Amino acid sequence: MALTLTEKILKNHLVDGEFVKGKEIGIKIDQTLTQDATGTMAYIEFEAMNIPRVRTERSVAYIDHNTLQNGFMNMDDHRFIGSVAKKHGIYFSRPGNGICHQVHLERFGVPGKTLIGSDSHTPTGGGLGMIAIGAGGLDVAVAMGGGAYYITYPKVVKINLTGKLNPWCAAKDVILEVLKIMSVKGGVGKVVEYCGEGVKTLSVPERATITNMGAELGATTSIFPSDDVTKEFLKAQKREEDWVELSADEGAVYDEEIDIDLSKIEPLAACPHSPDNIKSVNQLGKMKIDQVCIGSCTNSSLMDMLKVAHILKGKTVNPNVSLSIAPGSKQVLNMLAQNGALAIMIDAGARILESACGPCIGMGQSPNSKGISLRTFNRNFEGRSGTKDGQIYLVSPEVAALSAINGYLSDPRTLGDMPKLEIPKEFIINDNMIVEPASVEDAKNVEILRGPNIKPYPNTSALENSIDCKCSLKVGDNITTDHIMPAGAKILPLRSNIPEISKFCFTVCDEEFPARAMKLKQSIIVGGSNYGQGSSREHAALAPLYLGIKAVIAKSFARIHRSNLINAGILPLTFVNENDYENISQGDELEIKNLISSVNENGKFVILNKTNGKEIITECELSVRTKQIILAGGLLDFTKNNI
């Protein structure tokens, strides 16, 4: 039987379940990655399992989110992660070495391998031909301990690429076109697989840009074949031995097919406040701008930066625009410094930032009030930039650089001939900021360094048979994890301190929510469709857990957040009839009986709204394994009980 590339890799890693669409399967994980905003909690969870050393082929801890090190908290977290990594067999990428996805692509990613990371943009690795999936930190901790990672066996969408991109049109425009076609909900339960002759025209960094923003589709992951282009990239990284040729079988059957002619792609922009709110640059016209930010795990490769330098050469950034540039890794920054491109950027008036996530997660460079900011990032959710009324547009580096010069949104196709830029035959290799773990023998003497901001995992308990409490919050559609648990310089340092960070839970929507939930002790949240889209941060489940949330009732859930709720022991219930959303108001008293039998038997949960007398039917589809997790009170308890 002819197989898709997705099916080939998944079948090769299957350890539990069977290949039936929509059913749960467990896969062996070869590699894991964490970053510091999610990593501290992931390693606290790993320690709780009492496993002396990771059991993966490669696990890497990256420091790239909280690099501002404002106060003692960030630095304490970094010391903790570094010491855990040394003791437990994990490679440690120090602050300044770069963004996890960019560095992993350069130095560790291997075609045909499985990778999960405690960051939703882990699918960047799909540009190398990996099954790379974003997950909650606890899922990553379990995988580090040798446990399987469970997903719903996905549908596979074939995106057939033909033709070739025209000059000044970019991979960013390709994924924005896909978002325009599929929307932020269109990838749920699916893997997006890129095929066709057009694939050969795209470099590995371009492919990685496309798979990176597959996260914005809600997709499980996205993947490209591993071909001669992949081989040349790995050869340039002195990792040719990691290459293996991989592609779908001829005649493989897909669940959906989409055709995209690359030659018809034009410069696009995602308009506020959603990555699928797509318009062409020409449609938007010469819109005055205030700020440009170039970088992030989406667009910070060497090739991206060289194109930016070419556009900026001999020019000056418009006096009314602030331009910041963050190369994605130390390797990229070093090569820009050596080939003169960095000097060009500085001469033009760009502000050079550290090789880190920075403004993408609200760590500095927030725009002015109502400011229009062009960003080469992956998300433009309301308030994510750090400015509540900031107007964020997602664009390619080419659009961003020219617009920074002109002072208004600009189409780079006006620039004329495009320079011939190619992936270097050899990258500068210097891994001196990646610390190898201690040997098994030496690890016994490694001390774990804990600061006062590092608090234990919230208390959990086995599922009780009934819930009788109030609805503490009701929200609408497309609630993101940034709404639930905001990022930014003020809040990110608290990621290892759940009691403290919970004070900011949902404050974007309702400043009184944390205090109200704490006062109620137990409560339920009600949401609309696509609840929990965006980042993989499990803190969007752990903070509600700490605040006493027992269930979330929504029209539908984003994949990672639903898993994180289950992992935290919080019931993710969906309305059988979406119109019942109107039958619950904030403050209503809700009762759910017979929880244990509902979990074990039919997955139907009857909610009595004691305030208005309405009876509401909800459901929660659970596998045998996730039933046991919910009954145990969460994945950590389940793992401890079954390790």
**CB proximity list for 580: less than 8 A, separation 6 or greater:** 614, 616, 617, 618
Q: 408 pairs with which residues across the strands?
A: 288
Residue 233's φ and ψ, nearest 5 degrees, are -65, -50
Q: How many beta carbons lie within 10 A of that of residue 256, not counting itself?
A: 13
**CB proximity list for 212: less than 8 A, separation 6 or greater:** 101, 121, 123, 124, 127, 175, 297, 298, 378
- C-alpha to C-alpha distance for 581 and 527, rounded to whole angstroms: 8
DSSP-assigned letters across all residues of 386-406:
S-TT-EEEE--HHHHHHHHHH
DSSP-assigned letters across all residues of 480-515:
BHHHHS--STTTGGGTT-HHHHGGGTTTTT-TTHHH
Phi-psi region of 446 (alpha: psi -120 to 50; beta: other; left: phi over 0): beta
Contact between 106 and 62 under an 8 Å Cβ cutoff? The reply is no
The catalytic position among 36, 76, 77, 119 is: 119
DSSP secondary structure letter of residue 594: -
The catalytic position among 13, 58, 65, 625 is: 65
- C-alpha to C-alpha distance for 573 and 570, rounded to whole angstroms: 9
Is 65 an active-site residue?
Answer: yes
Is 379 an active-site residue?
Answer: yes
- C-alpha to C-alpha distance for 275 and 296, rounded to whole angstroms: 15
**CB proximity list for 343: less than 8 A, separation 6 or greater:** none
Q: Which residue has the tokens 């309702």?
A: 510
The catalytic position among 59, 93, 535, 563 is: 535
Q: Which residue has the tokens 């039936």?
A: 20
Where are the alpha helices (H) located in 195-286, listed in sequence order?
204-212, 228-236, 281-284
- C-alpha to C-alpha distance for 27 and 31, rounded to whole angstroms: 12
Q: CA angle, corner 560, sides to 554 and 566, nearest 5?
A: 65
DSSP secondary structure letter of residue 262: G
Instruction: Determine the residue type at 552.
Output: V
Q: How many beta carbons lie within 10 A of that of residue 429, not counting itself?
A: 12
* Cis geometry, peptide bond prior to residue 88 (ω within 30 degrees of 0): no
The catalytic position among 58, 537, 539, 562 is: 537
Instruction: Determine the residue type at 459.
Output: N
Buried residues in 386-397 as b, exposed as e (16+ CB within 10 A): bbeebbbbbbbb
The catalytic position among 78, 88, 379, 625 is: 379
Question: Catalytic residue positions?
Answer: 64-65, 119, 379, 535, 537
